[in-house]
Amino acid sequence: MGPHRGDLLKKELNIFTFKNLLEHFPYRHIDKTKINRISEINSQTEFVQIKGKLIDVELVGEKKAKRLIATLRDPSSTIELVWFQGIHWIQKTLHVGKEYIVYGRTGFFQGNVQITHPEMELANQDISDDKFILEPVYPSTEKLKSKGLGGRQIGKLTRQLFSLLSEKDIPEILPYSILRQLKLSGRFKAFSAIHFPDNLQIYTEALNRLKFEELFVAQLRMGLIKSQRHRYSKGVVFNHVGDLFNSFYSSYLPFELTGAQKKVLKEIRKDTGTGRQMNRLLQGDVGSGKTVVALLSMLLAADNGYQSCLLSPTEILARQHFDHFTELIKELPLSVQLLTGSTKSKERKKIIEKLINGSLDILIGTHAIIEDAVQFNNLGLAIIDEQHRFGVAQRAKLWTKSPIAPHVLVMTATPIPRTLAMTAYGDLDYSVMDELPPGRQPVITVHRYEDNRPQVMDFIRSEIDRGKQAYIIFPLIEESEKLDYENLMKGYENVKAYFPEPKYWISMVHGRQHKDTRETNMQRFVENDTQIMVATTVIEVGVNIPNATVMVIESAEKFGLSQLHQLRGRVGRGKDKSFCILLTSGKLNQEARERLKIMCATNDGFKIAEKDMEIRGPGDIGGTRQSGMLDFRLANIIEDRQWLELASKMAAEQLDKDPELSSAENLMLKNHLFLQHGKTQWSKIS
């Protein structure tokens, strides 16, 4: 092709090489033998292919409204074809009186059916075309279309390319044992058939083969990173369980651990005893009891003479952990300190001194821990709570705090669907706590409209009269921050009218307050000095106040599913029956309605996460990690779950048999991975 169109192809579709073109897959195929009659087109018709004579071409309108309108006639009727862009170029290519095959999406304008920016081809122009019954249609752009490189024309390029290729140009990379076992088609055949299949079955086979390849290669890459870390990384050794751990476990632990907590602790002990660095993601639904797992792991570190730290996303949470830990281990000979942004500089200096001389065992804090000035004597374990609040770079800094990288335990309460975890976190060690402490009752969740507000307030009052507490949460959406604060204040006044002082007291907590005010208000609620907490989502994660039994979420339609689930997780943390009330206006769109329905139907964070992924797509779930790791060309981790599971299993087996992929069978595969290397973020930390 000429340089002009070549450049456009690069700019518009990132197609620079033959390989790029081969991997620009069609999104559908048209059955070329099927021609629609114009008279058959109705409002249900989406794409049509018609054949007819061009009887008129006309330029109408002025300036911006200028458009090209052509009329096509077939034996049944006539139809208008419309162009808004590339008008002059297109006008030159249209010849009144000739027969065309026209393909495009139908639309209605003032009651008349028309096709905008259709793809035009002279009928019977290229006889060899006809042997392809299923003609591929490719993603294209308006710009390319206006230069004659629409979704069908790109197929001509691809076909031309294929006429130059032979089997050796697209060599097999999958091991033959796998091809045989899964009865997958060969690579060359698959590439050729995904573009130019003879029939639907051949197309499906090709598609499956290439999807499998994509997923398998990705799983293999993750598996390699993981197994190499297991074999070559260096980690400090926690080789024994000592007095601190044991005496805490037998004398001070306020409850029996759940099976899931025990399982995870075992995994952590095993990891940290090997001399390899642990890099473990711990996922546990809200309220599953991750905090005590963190504490016991820190005691394990201390038993082996190492310091540890716990990083929390907010000051409120860090303080809560600190208070909780100091209370629980007050009888143990350990020193624990809190370091946050509001720690006074004199105090901070002292803490750093003690960290460096080794007299401080456990440090709890916020981002302040990551700052360069904070150095340790021998940091052996770093725990990160609610990881989705931290960026990758911030977390990576923890690695530099010690000559041998500390063990890292990342805890998250945002459940990640299994398939997503496999693809996005496949290189990490991964634990799930899928069990709640005994005696918990599911939070009863209901959806109420604005009109029901008085009843909702009455209900809160009845709970308070029983000695319980309530949260009322207002949304905070960045684009309309000012408005949101106004709403919050209005809401606060409103609540106050229902719950007048001095019978009732209300705490208000939001991000614009001075830290001290926020802290005091929080503390008053913790101590049941105030019965109601009016807040923005600053309390979304981690806050643990078991006496609170009601969670009202205002404008609940503005929240995403995982956020709603997190917020709901603030109640139902004690033995009492708890309630979550989702308040909304009457006007809800379909997606919001869906979200609210799911919330009312289940308390299971993993089910909610699956739904969330279905609604929003995998790319939007759970922060920075996945972007780039999920951009499969063909596979879709929701629809192709079975292929993903299979690919994951096969990749693990292959690495078991041949950890370095050095056998003859795996040579091509290794080569392929190596060539893709640049694509991979070989990140060490979750």
Residues engaged in binding ligand ADP (CB under 6 A): 255, 257-258, 261, 284, 286-292, 413, 437, 542, 544, 546, 573
- Based on CB atoms, which residue is closest to Mg ion, 120 or 410? 410
The 486-525 contact track toward Mg ion, x by CB under 5 A, reads ----------------------------------------
The DSSP letter of residue 184 is: P
Does residue 542 interact with Mg ion by CB under 5 A? yes
Q: How far is the CB of 412 from Mg ion (least distance, A)?
A: 9
Write down the least CB distance from residue 474 to Mg ion, Å. Answer: 22
d(CA 459, CA 499): 12
Closest distance of CB 157 from ligand ADP, Å? 55
Q: What minimum distance in Å lies between the beta carbon of 524 and Mg ion?
A: 22
The residue among 360 and 470 lying less far from ligand ADP, judged by its C-beta, is 470
Comparing CB distances to Mg ion, the nearer of 101 and 473 is 473
Measured from the CB atom, the residue of 397 and 570 that comes closer to ligand ADP is 570
Out of Mg ion, ligand ADP, none, what residue 573 binds, judged by CB under 5 to 8 A for its kind, is ligand ADP
Tell me how many residues contact Mg ion (CB under 5 A): 1
- For ligand ADP, give the closer residue by CB, 546 or 659: 546
- Cβ of residue 485: shortest distance to ligand ADP, in angstroms? 28
In whole angstroms, give the CA distance from residue 194 to residue 24. Answer: 10
| Binds 546: which of Mg ion, ligand ADP, none (CB < 5-8 Å by kind) | ligand ADP
Give whole-number Cα distances, 195 to 16, 35, 155, 271, 366, in Å.
Answer: 18, 21, 8, 47, 53
List, as one string, the DSSP characters of 286-346.
Answer: TTS-HHHHHHHHHHHHHHTT-EEEEE-SSHHHHHHHHHHHHHHTTTSS--EEEE-TTS-HH
Measured distance between the N- and C-terminal CA atoms of the chain, rounded to whole angstroms: 45
Which amino acid is residue 166, in one-letter code?
S
Residue 263 CB contacts under 8 Å (≥ 6 apart), including other chains: 431, 433
Provide, rounded to whole angstroms, the least separation between the CB of residue 413 and Mg ion.
6
Which residue number has the CB closest to ligand ADP? 289
Closer of 291 and 445 to ligand ADP (Cβ): 291
- Please give the backbone phi and psi of residue 449, each rounded to the nearest 5 degrees, phi first: -95, 160
Which of ligand ADP, Mg ion, none does residue 176 bind to, with CB < 5 to 8 Å depending on kind?
none
Q: Could you give the CA distance from residue 141 to residue 153 in angstroms, rounded to a whole number?
A: 12
With beta carbons less than 8 A apart as the criterion, state whether 47 and 103 touch: yes
Assign residue 399 a region (left: φ > 0; alpha: ψ between -120 and 50; beta: otherwise).
alpha
From the list ligand ADP, Mg ion, none, pick the one residue 415 interacts with, judged by a Cβ distance below 5 to 8 Å according to partner type. none
Q: Which of 118, 113, 117 is nearest to 40 (CA)?
A: 113
Smaller CB distance to Mg ion: residue 355 or 436? Answer: 436
What's the closest the beta carbon of residue 385 comes to Mg ion, in angstroms? 6
Q: Which is nearer to ligand ADP, 148 or 546 (CB)?
A: 546
Distance between CA atoms of 300 and 273, rounded to whole angstroms? 11
65-77 burial code (b ≥16 CB/10 A, e <16): eeebebbbebeee
SS3 assignment, position 506:
strand
State the minimum distance, in angstroms, from the CB of residue 459 to ligand ADP. 24
Return the one option of Mg ion, ligand ADP, none that residue 537 interacts with (CB less than 5 to 8 A, by type): none
CB of 605 to ligand ADP, least distance (A): 10
Backbone angles phi, psi at 524, to 5 degrees: -65, -35
**DSSP character at residue 616:** H
Q: Minimal distance in Å, beta carbon 342 to ligand ADP? A: 23
Decide whether 293 or 533 has the Cβ nearer to Mg ion. 293
- Pick from 322, 596, 314: nearest CA to 448: 596
Question: Which is nearer to ligand ADP, 326 or 544 (by Cβ)?
Answer: 544
**How many other CB atoms are found less than 10 A from the CB of residue 570?**
25
Residue type, 653: E
- Contacts with Mg ion by CB under 5 A lie at 542
